[in-house]
Structure 1
Amino acid sequence: MTSSNISRRRALALTGALLAGTASALHAQPAYPSRPVRLVVPFPAGTSPDVTARLWGDRFTRLTGQPVVVENRAGASTIIGAQVVASAPADGYTLLWTVNNTFSINPFVYRKLPYKAENFTPVTRILSVPYVLVTSAESRIRTLADLVREAKARPGEMTYASAGIGQGTHVVMARLLNQAGVSMIHVPYKEAFVPDVIAQRIDVAFDASTGAIPQVKGGKVRALGVSSARRIPLMPDVPAIAESYPGFVGDSWHGIFAPKGTAAPVIATLLGYSQRIVDEADFRAALLAYGLTPVGGGADDFRRFLDEDARAWAKVVQDNGIMAE
């Protein structure tokens, strides 16, 4: 046997050993998830994102056998929580459950952010959050048309509240005022603003369906419209604003994100479990009971939606000069 034949045999043997070792190492990797998953929610406990994240987490645990540990990292318009996840290992064991502010509004409202959208991999949009335009139940304003008529008669005098500059409740009202061609005074709050709407110290405000619907049903506020493209099941008599202003949509959303670099098989597994959860009848019923709209869908669909959502809110922010420090 020639020396060249011996060299080839050794090379083939070495290649086979390396391939076998690689296959063995891959086989040795535990299936995801093999330990608890940390789910960062950039809102306080008891808020809508926290409640829905825990609903999802309970079902994820039921499907996988692994606990989901919800970590509330509230503050700074979701910036604190987003930063935590952006700097976490990209192994699928630290995830972000967040809303539209993080990626569709903050990048245009804040001059500097400690994270970028590129630091994350979108997994799926779980649900949509309609906003409800409310006024006091004692107000003489009974319809959206009444509100616009009053605002035109008293330009720059009427007031609306929000959860803060650049928050969803602020920019959705700015979008409506732009389409209606009227102006109102913005009053940002750090705490709850609905009590001042009830007391007629503030004329109107948008509030998330989860908070607004109980107040409407309790007779404290009157609903003038919803921000969804169509009416929502819990309030079928309340018109969608789009019925008066075609094309108007102002919903927020909840979605799941992983740190950039998370392996594609892990993302696919997360997506698969999430879609199973969103498809469960009891999960959908729970969301609908809060006035939320189940969505689901693949990562590519979510990316396209995020691009469209960011463009739409960027225009509102820029048209209205909305800036925050």
Structure 2
Amino acid sequence: MNLRSPTRRALLKSAAALPLLTFAAGAFGQSGYPDRPIKIVMTLPAGTSADTMARYVADQMSKDLGQPVVVDNRPGASSNIGYRTAAEADADGYTLLYGLLSLILNPQLFNQVPYEPEDFTPVIRLLDVPFVLVVRSDAPYQSVADLIETAKQSPGKLKYPSYGIGSPNHIAVLQMIQNSGAEMTHVPYKDGGLSDLLGGALDFSLDVTATTISHIKAGTLRPLVVSTENRIDVLPDTPTFSEAGIGAPLYSWNGVFARSGTPQEIIDRLSASLQKITTSEEFHAKVADFVQVPRGGTPEDFATSLATETENWGRVIKAANLKIE
């Protein structure tokens, strides 16, 4: 396979190539799709929040489409095993991908990956997974500006954790460092380092809301900034990256993809089913359980956002000369 990193131009070209959706019931009936079970490849282990959501979506799709929809967990190698499995499937709509942010990050972080983002056609962006930058409640920092000022006065003194080199929260902090000119010390952890932050060994952390929100509500952590484009309902008084002047929105997401080349009428059928799911009150409540943000929209919407985010994340990765062997 000719391996290459995704480009904004390529993704926008993909978006432009997507014809307008046709939701006519007659068109769906003519295709006969689906007439057998559908598989959704999940690149993380069973029991993770993404897997739980994938299984919920699969169950709802099965009810709407009239065929079993099963989740096939293929974890490992930073999700590349699952992406390869989905990329090697037939473009017939019977093997889908439950895609995560790593789909667009891995080709920029690894020298080689066993797929290309262009192997997949976006169907729907299901939800966003925000990051929130937190400090201990007894820390002197009342804003991210306070944190940056301290880092500039004492270069390298402030320590922050991540889930590993090249993990999304590591890259998002790098953007703040690059834009502010501050120096901070990165300490990678397998578990994200939250316990060491609470214990005083670290100074701040940028982690997902699902991990931090209980500590924020308990008063042990103070939120300084969220990574999303807009403020989030659970933290309405916390400014965004853009409002704080530390860079573009950077956050994770969950979405559904089909193999590129899948007939458009099948993409349309899947899109209609998934849009019905994402607009339901039940879906919104389910997403709220994980302190995430429901999305939805058309394949064109998803393709356009992917192009923008590939550029935003890629800019930080390139500036940091970040590579994973």
TM-score by length of 1: 0.85
CA distance in 2, matches of 1:219, 1:186: 25
Distance 1:157 1:95 in 2: 46
Which residue in 2 is equivalent to 1:206?
A: 206
CA contact (8 A) 1:135 1:205 kept: yes
Instruction: For residue 91 of structure 2, give the secondary structure of its aligned residue in structure 1.
Output: coil
Residue 199 of structure 1: CA displacement?
Answer: 1.4
Partner of 2:144: 144
2:218 aligned residue: 218
- Opposite residue 51 of structure 2, the aligned amino acid is D
Query: 1:279-290 maps to which residues of 2 (within 5 A)?
Result: 279-290=279-290
Aligned partner of residue 191 in structure 1, secondary structure? coil
Q: How far 1:30 moved relative to its partner? A: 7.1
Distance 2:142 2:46 in 1: 34
**1:57 equivalent in structure 2:** 58
Which amino acid is 2:140 matched to? R
**Map of 1:121 onto structure 2:** 121
After the TM superposition, which residues 64-83 of structure 1 pair with which residues of structure 2 at under 5 Å, given as runs?
Answer: 64-83=65-84
Amino acid at match of 1:122: P
The CA RMSD measured in Å over matched residues stands at: 2.2
Aligned pairs for 1:7-26 within 5 A: none
5 Å matches for 1:17-56? 31-56=32-57
Equivalent residue, structure 1, for 2:292: 292
TM alignment of 1:227-306, pairs within 5 A: 227-245=227-245, 248-306=248-306
CA contact (8 A) 1:139 1:200 kept: no
Structure 1 residue runs without a partner (length 5+):
1-26
Q: Alpha carbons of 1:33 and 1:196: their partners in 2 closer, same or farther (altered >3 Å)?
A: farther
| Contact 2:50/2:254, CA 8 A, preserved across alignment | yes
Please tell me whether the aligned partners of residues 77 and 102 of structure 1 are also in contact (alpha carbons under 8 angstroms).
no
Q: Which amino acid in 2 is paired with 1:78?
A: S
Question: Does the residue aligned with 2:45 lie in a helix, a strand or coil?
Answer: coil
Contact 2:175 2:246 in 1 (8 A): no
Q: 1:28 Cα shift?
A: 11
Gaps of 5+ in 2: 1-27
Q: Is the 8 A contact 1:36 1:69 kept in 2?
A: yes
Q: Counterpart in 2 of 1:93?
A: 94
Sequence identity percentage: 38
Contact 1:73/1:81, CA 8 A, preserved across alignment: yes
Decide whether the 8 Å contact of 1:135 with 1:203 is kept in 2: yes
Deviations along 1:229-282, one digit per CA (max 9) or x if unpaired, are 222111223222322217631122111111222222111111110111111122
CA distance in 1 between counterparts of 2:189 and 2:247 reads 28
Q: 1:60 to 1:28 in 2, by over 3 A?
A: closer
Q: Residue 193 of structure 2 corresponds to which residue in structure 1?
A: 193
Could you tell me whether the CA contact under 8 Å between 1:136 and 1:199 is conserved in 2?
no
CA distance in 2, matches of 1:115, 1:39: 17
Larger radius of gyration: 1
Of the two structures, which has the highest relative contact order with CA contacts closer than 8 Å and spacing of 6 or more? Answer: 2
> C-alpha displacement at 1:65, in angstroms?
2.9
Question: Aligned letter for 2:214?
Answer: P
Please say if residues 77 and 167 of structure 1, whose CA atoms lie closer than 8 Å, have aligned partners that are also in contact: no
Identify if the C-alpha distance between structure 1 residues 263 and 114 changes in structure 2 by more than 3 Å, giving closer, same or farther: same
For 1:138 and 1:57, locate their aligned partners in 2 and report how far apart those are by CA, in whole Å: 44
**Structure-2 separation of matches of 1:90 and 1:133:** 40
- Contact 2:129–2:253 (CA<8 Å) still a contact in 1? yes
Residue equivalent to 2:183: 183
Alignment of 1:106-117 (within 5 A): 106-117=106-117
Q: Structure 2: which amino acid aligns with 1:33?
A: P
CA contact (8 A) 1:166 1:322 kept: yes
Aligned to 2:160: 160
Q: Say if 1:112 and 1:183 are closer, same or farther in 2 by CA, change over 3 A.
A: same
The one-letter code matched in structure 2 to 1:199 is G
Provide, for residues 80-125 of structure 1, a one-character-per-residue CA deviation record: whole Å limited to 9, x for no partner.
111111112222121111212211x211111111111121121111
Which amino acid letter does the alignment assign opposite residue 133 of structure 1? L
1:291 is matched by which residue type in structure 2? V
User: Any conservation in 1 of the 2:179–2:247 contact (CA below 8 Å)?
Assistant: no
Structure 2 length-normalised TM: 0.85
